[in-house]
Amino acid sequence: MRNKGENKIPAILALGFIAGHNPSLSFTTIYSKGIEALALAMDDEPDTLVGASAAWSLGSVFHARTLSRSVFTLTWTTFKFLLLG
């Protein structure tokens, strides 16, 4: 059973709050497919508090500079591996 409407907001905000504490928790959020859940919430209701909460949470996940660099490095390494074999 899926939550509908504004019932999603506490879970969305909790995910962003937890992920914003340190890069380790942000990585855990990314690898546990939390980004996909936040993107889905934003896509379902972009013009409501649910969409705004999801946008805030996504920003919290990618807050740390070190995390952003790590995600870029990981993505670039994966891309090179797929491209060059």
pLDDT in tens, 24-59: 888 888 888 888 888 888 888 777 888 889 888 888
The reported pTM is: 0.68
DSSP the chain: ----GGGGHHHHHHHHHHHTS-HHHHHHHHHTTHHHHHHHHHHH-TTSHHHHHHHHHHHHHT--HHHHHHHHHHHHHHHHHHHH-
Residue 65, pLDDT above cutoff 60: no
Which pLDDT value is given to residue 13?
Answer: 92
Q: Where are the domains of the chain?
A: 5-84
